[in-house]
Homo-oligomer: A and B are copies of this chain.
Amino acid sequence: MRPNSPETSPESKPQTRKRPTITDVARAAGVSIAVVSYALNGRPGVSPATRDRVLRIADEYGWRPSAAARSLRTSERSIALALIHSESSTSRSGHFMDFLAGLQHTLEKHEHSLWLKVVADEEQAATMYHTGWLERRFDAVIVRDVIHDDPRLAVVSREHIPAVVVGHPQISSPHISVWVDEPHAIGQAVDLLCDLGHRTVGFLHSDPTRDTVSRTTQAARVSAARHGARLLTHVTRTPEDSAAAARALLTGTQRPTALVTDTDDTALITLDVARRLSLNVPWDLSLICLGSSAQATLATPSLTSIDVPFTALGEHVGHALMDLLSAGSSSNITVPLPPVSVRGTIAPPRNSDT
């Protein structure tokens, strides 16, 4: 007998922490541990009677297989996602939860779990992905909000970690991509404004690190050009910057009569700026943003926006991951963006008799 062998009188309540193991359940049920395992996992080859008894006893004992022990045999499938928490990303986090909900919902249906970590920046995320991979903590990763020369993409490629990238297929490179066609949406927004008669349109992009910045700007430009309209662009980095940019635009000599923003937050800020400049939205200024309907409807006037389906995006990413993990590969997918939801912030320009 080993020293310190715990006194296991069967009747004594496990006052401290002595959670039962499969052995305890097997003994209590008068069967071998194999049978318990079979019964629990719904494997064939156990008589219904035995199965029931085992299950009942397991339940009685409050027993569930230890995750660690189990995953030592059957690599428990899970997906890693690093939540990047910089000051700048704080605003976006509301949507992030929607994304997470959709993602986890899908993963759960396929019996995968999500391994979430909060990190400060992409660099940390990369090292986290690296060590986590070596420690076999997950089977695939998600890379969101790709930046230029993203370190996460580097490790993922180097270590051959299965990955799904939320971003344009081109930057996702060898990995599979789930893409929200923001440029297209921005183009549509500009189109709509031009169709209303606007001839000077502003475009505010609030995050220079995002990979979409050039693509969306380009789309806006093309769209404006097609209508013979002028496009004024500002790329900002912080909310304060955005406010400043909006003010600069709205007090400039070529004041745009309409503005498109890449974010509902930026739109809210712009709304505020306009108000302080005594510009009446939508009559003096039209406004369209990319964002969530929740945020959009809360403002006054409620924002005309293109509502990004964050939950659906999460689900798509989940499916892409499942395909990738099961089939070994998977095709890129484009998440459709709904048409502009017209709310209270657009109107023809005041002097639309150009």
Contacts and interface: CB of A to CB of B under 8 A. Distances in A.
A102 B87 CA distance: 13
Interface stretch (A112-120, A178-186, A211-219, A252-260): A112-120
Interface string A273-302: 001100000000000000000100011100
Contacts of A67: 135-137
A118 B311 CA distance: 13
Contacts of A75: 68
B101 A65 contact: no
Contacts of A93: 93-94, 96-97
A62 interface: yes
Contact of A97 (B83, B104, B300): B83
Contacts of A71: 68
- Which bucket holds chain A's interface residue count? 35 or more
B134 A62 contact: yes
B85 A101 contact: yes
Contacts of A118: 97, 100-101, 104, 114
Contacts of A120: 101
Contact of A69 (B72, B83, B134): B72
Contacts of A66: 72, 135-136
A160 B62 CA distance: 13
Contact of A300 (B65, B83, B160, B276): B276
A67 B276 CA distance: 56
A71 B68 CA distance: 6
A202 B160 CA distance: 59
Interface of A: 17, 19, 62-69, 71-72, 75-76, 83, 85, 87, 90-91, 93-94, 96-98, 100-101, 104, 114, 116-118, 120, 131, 134-137, 159-160, 239, 269, 272, 275-276, 294, 298-300
17 contacts: A62-B134, A62-B159, A64-B135, A66-B136, A67-B137, A68-B68, A68-B71, A68-B75, A68-B136, A69-B72, A72-B72, A90-B94, A93-B97, A104-B118, A272-B300, A275-B275, A276-B300
